[in-house]
Amino acid sequence: MHHPDVCIAGAGIIGLSLALELHHRGVRVTVLDQATPLAEASTAAAGMLAARDPHNPPQLRPLAELSLSLYPDFLDRLHILSGMRVPFQTLATLQAIPPNVPNTSGELTLKDLAHLRPALNPGDHRFILLDEYSLDPRQLATALLAAVRTTTIDLRPNTKVLYTRPVDNSVEVSTPAGIIHAANFVDCTGAWASTTSHLPNIRVTPKKGQMLSVSLPPSFALKLVVRTPDIYIVPRTSGPNSSRAIIGATIEDAGFDKTVHSADIAHLSTLAAALLPPLAHAPQLEAWAGLRPATSDGLPLLGALPTHPNHFLATGHYRDGILLAPATAHVMTQLLSGEAPSIDLEPFSPTRTRITP
């Protein structure tokens, strides 16, 4: 019988970041993953730290800002443990703003955008320039996994959670390899959370996103993210994937199907080329699909299940798992340690009333 202080289900960016934070505090941690660590949404993402995206729910802002403030220390810890430095790829985002947003001093005019022509075709879009970082999730995943493996964290791939049940003041976790009794259990299984945990009010559903990468033309040194409601283009400026750009992404209700459809990829390519004409003939390098864990109100689930105070949720991060990983690890560690969290977690309570989008 195995008796960790905390058993985490899900070895994605959220689960492993939480495991490292708990380990840093001296907590004994076991992490279970039904397949391969960091093989799902964590490495399918584009890597935008889009805390100020105007399309985000406003309730997300405090958690997002907290995460931005924690990111430098988070990356430093990964570097110390793994020896791998994860750089920021871009430092700014050209963001299209919705028509109903009033003019602001930060809005860019066509004159402001003139230096980007003929690279940029703004069309009917209005833009603002955001101070916003991006990074390469594949680099992040490599460093995070290497960091975890330098510790005593018990990481178990290919170990599915069959069921959990409360036993006295602990949680019994059943796996094909046997039973684990943990003082606390945290469900970080992303799009699979509704099958791992019996959620009371809000379900977590997969939202499929297809995307692609292209090789940037040598004459087009894109150094910032360009994002509209229909498309985003995220360049890689350093590391093993430099001189390419990530283009995404569809938003689909397709269950757990990750099939890539050539027609959808072609449509994304067309949208990207319409916005940035130099991409019209950029060679495609890859195409893939990921499953975002979505809730009905677009906010993550952070906290304990009402049915058992030792069973916690840290899931439902939708498009912002990379951004929110450090803050999620921070506040969940505070909850598990009996401390008051740094921000109000009421908007993310698993017991909140379901909201129809």
Rounded CA gap, 50 and 93, in Å? 9
- Say yes or no: 236 and 285 in one domain: yes
> Nearest Cα to 144, choosing from 11, 287, 338?
11
Output the pLDDT for position 104: 60
User: Distances from the Cα of 81 to the Cαs of 150, 155, 239, in angstroms?
Assistant: 7, 16, 19
Is this structure's pTM higher than 0.75?
Answer: yes
* Interior angle at CA 94, CA 92 and CA 96, nearest 5: 145
Same domain, yes or no, for 79 and 223? no
Domain end marker among 268, 294, 320: 294
278: containing domain: 91-133+205-294
pLDDT, residue 246, reads 98
Q: Is 76 helix (H, G, I), strand (E, B) or coil?
A: helix
Residues 278 and 334 both lie in one domain: no
- Cα 72-247-60 angle, rounded to 5 deg: 45
DSSP conformational letter for 264: H
Q: Are residues 283 and 161 in the same domain?
A: no
pLDDT at 356: 44
Out of 294, 321, 341, a domain closes at 294
**118: cis peptide before it, omega within 30°?**
yes
Q: Do 216 and 283 sit in the same domain of this protein?
A: yes
Given this model, what pLDDT does residue 267 score?
98
Last residue of a domain, one of 278, 294, 310: 294
**210 & 314 share domain:** no
pLDDT at position 144 is 98
* Bridge partner residues of 308 (DSSP): 305
Say if residue 157 is in the same domain as residue 79: yes
Q: Are 4 and 79 part of one and the same domain? A: yes
Give pLDDT, residue 101: 67
Cα separation, 204 vs 24, whole angstroms: 29
* Residues 226 and 110 both lie in one domain: yes
User: Are 286 and 161 contained in the same domain?
Assistant: no
Sequence-ordered strand ranges (E) for the chain:
6-9, 29-32, 88-97, 107-108, 126-135, 154-156, 163-167, 170-175, 178-182, 184-187, 205-215, 225-227, 232-236, 244-248, 284-294, 301-305, 308-315
Q: What pLDDT is attached to residue 353? A: 67
Q: Are residues 60 and 188 in the same domain?
A: yes
Output the pLDDT for position 60.
98
At 110, which CATH number?
3.30.9.10
Residue type present at position 120: L
pLDDT per residue of the chain (357 residues) written in tens, 0 to 9: 579 999 999 999 999 999 999 999 999 999 999 999 999 999 999 999 999 998 899 999 999 999 999 999 999 999 999 999 999 999 999 999 877 766 665 778 767 777 776 789 988 888 999 999 999 999 999 999 999 999 999 999 999 999 999 999 999 999 999 999 999 999 999 999 999 998 877 899 999 999 999 999 999 999 999 999 999 999 999 999 999 999 999 999 999 999 999 999 999 999 999 999 999 999 999 999 999 999 999 999 999 998 888 999 999 999 999 999 999 999 999 999 999 999 999 999 998 865 444
Token representation of residue 319: 């498009």
Count of the separate structural domains present in the chain: 2
12 and 82 together in one domain: yes
